[in-house]
Amino acid sequence: MDPRDEAPDRDRLPTLLGERVALRWLEARDVDGLFTLFGDPKVTEYWSWPAYTARDQAARLLESIHAHFREGSLYQWGVVLRGEDRVIGTCTLASIDRTHLRAEVGFALASARWGRGLMGEALAVLIDHAFGPLGLRRLEADVDPRNHRSLALLERHGFRREGYLRERWRVGGEVQDSALLGLLARERPRPSDGRRTTPTSTP
């Protein structure tokens, strides 16, 4: 199955709705929001690249997001509060493999919004879309082992720790390890588990 066959519009991602958040297509108007998000050292502390220092980095990121979407290898949504438009985070399916029906999950949320359960809701919506309309069977995550907040979030959504890679990344002269996590479609938490919300998809 080609996951893009399930997209309502091949020119853009569908909007996915949770109770408080929406995952929507990223537009040119979102460059400032992306720069604010990825320019925050708290957000990128455990990433494989440092915080942005110039707006044009965010502009190039958006170009890359759209280019990889057209190739079918990456789906990256902007996260907004329902009823608002400014991007406060992103949710991503990267390295999409159509043959083996798997992808890598990524996410980021403005640090001012942490602790409210917003990314947990957004991740639940993303997981349901990946295993539902897109027909994927496996999701993976690569996380710095020191990033306890992200590890806990993934594990609350059913991800299991499957491996540990030493000195996998080099960022700003610092060597970082990776914890690898995975979630299979047949293992995803059900609504009764209290760990996911049922999303609505709109073109």
Report which of 51, 45, 93 is spatially closest to residue 72, judged by C-alpha positions.
Answer: 93
Domain limits, the chain: 3-198
Strand runs (DSSP E) across the chain, as ranges?
Answer: 15-17, 21-25, 75-81, 89-97, 102-109, 138-143, 160-171, 174-184, 200-202
- Reply yes or no on whether the pLDDT at 171 is more than 80: no
- Pick from 47-51, 92-96, 172-176, 197-201 the range whose average pLDDT is largest: 92-96
Do the strands 102-109 and 138-143 form a parallel or antiparallel pair, or are they unpaired?
parallel
pLDDT tens digits for range 32-85: 999 999 999 999 998 888 899 999 999 999 999 999 999 999 999 999 999 999
Architecture of the domain made up of 3-198 = 3-Layer(aba) Sandwich (3.40)
The pTM of this model reads 0.87
pLDDT tens digits for range 104-131: 999 999 999 999 999 999 999 999 999 9
How much is the pLDDT for 47?
A: 84
How far apart are alpha carbons 203 and 198 in whole angstroms?
17
How much is the pLDDT for 202?
A: 56
**Residue 131: which H helix or E strand, with range?**
helix 118-131
The chain-wide mean pLDDT, for the chain, equals: 89
Rounded alpha-carbon distances, angstroms, from residue 142 to 9, 126, 150: 29, 17, 10
Handedness of CA 148, 196, 15, 79 (dihedral sign): negative
How much is the pLDDT for 169?
A: 81
